Chains A and B, each alone.
Chain A
């Protein structure tokens, strides 16, 4: 798993069925990557629902949240609509898990991402990373602490 200080590998992934997001194009903004195992599963649903409520606190720190799993763009669309999510979900779908593997958070046994968080600073460096036990929703406090310490720099 990539650690603090390393350069965040660039990627281009579908955010909606006809729109892709390129990480390097987000330079100048802090970026939060939330890798999660699967759309619809209970812990992931709770975690994404929580982040949906905390976007306001992220944007205070000039940070954009991106959820990532290996689910397809159409699956993400349905999940996002059903949970009324206000942030993009990226499809690490083809080649499957390629981005998760680059970040060192792919679970080969399950064929899913692990539950992992990265905060990437405005220059594209990893400022903080955290691997959560798969069954546990890591909350948002670690993200906010990391964003706060970026501001102090």
Chain B
């Protein structure tokens, strides 16, 4: 089915790396999805190995009916973003996925030194909930059929994070 990223990466996205990087990877992920947690160290490794050649974008695709904490975890990462710790929270949630709960998000926020009152308020922030939802909708429109789903330079990549790593290694040889 349709396999183009809609809309393209824009100012509302969380981005690591430069706009002029040769390879743009967009992941649609769910913080409570075990496959996404497994993909997390692989995408980190891709960024380490390929450095400036790659830019990485994460969009939320919480499967809320299957994963009760997926949406609140996505909002928590966005809330941390308001305190300039988006990627730190993103990493922490995946790295502590096994113990993910409403309370555990506060523990992680504490570890990152976030202002706890603001963090708690932002978990109820409608604008952040809307952001997560619009990420989800863009995923559906782009043909995301499960998590994680990757797009490389705007085209859906049919494979897991490991396949993506292998493909990048091959094309850089």
A residues adjacent to B (C-beta < 8 A): 46-47, 49-50, 52-54, 57, 83-84, 86, 130, 132, 136-142, 144-145
Partner of B2, one of A47, A50, A136, A141: A141
**Hey, which chain B residues are within 8 Å of A84, CB to CB?**
65-66
Main secondary structure of the interface of A (DSSP, over half): helix
Q: B113 → chain A, closest Cβ, in Å?
A: 34
B residues adjacent to A (C-beta < 8 A): 1-2, 63-66, 136-137, 140-146
**Hey, which chain A residues are within 8 Å of B142, CB to CB?**
141
| Given known A-B contacts A54-B140, A141-B1, A47 and B145 have beta carbons under 8 A apart | yes
**Contact, CB under 8 Å: A139 / B63:** no
**Contact, CB under 8 Å: A46 / B145:** yes
**Hey, which chain A residues are within 8 Å of B145, CB to CB?**
46-47, 50, 136-140
Partner of B140, one of A52, A83, A86, A144: A144
The 8 closest A-B pairs by CB, nearest first: A139-B145, A137-B145, A141-B143, A141-B2, A142-B1, A139-B143, A52-B65, A140-B140
**Hey, which chain B residues are within 8 Å of A50, CB to CB?**
63, 145-146
Most buried by A among B1, B140, B142, B146: B1
11 further A-B contacts with Cβ under 8 Å, apart from A137-B145, A142-B1, are A49-B65, A49-B66, A50-B63, A50-B146, A52-B65, A52-B66, A53-B64, A141-B1, A141-B141, A141-B142, A144-B141
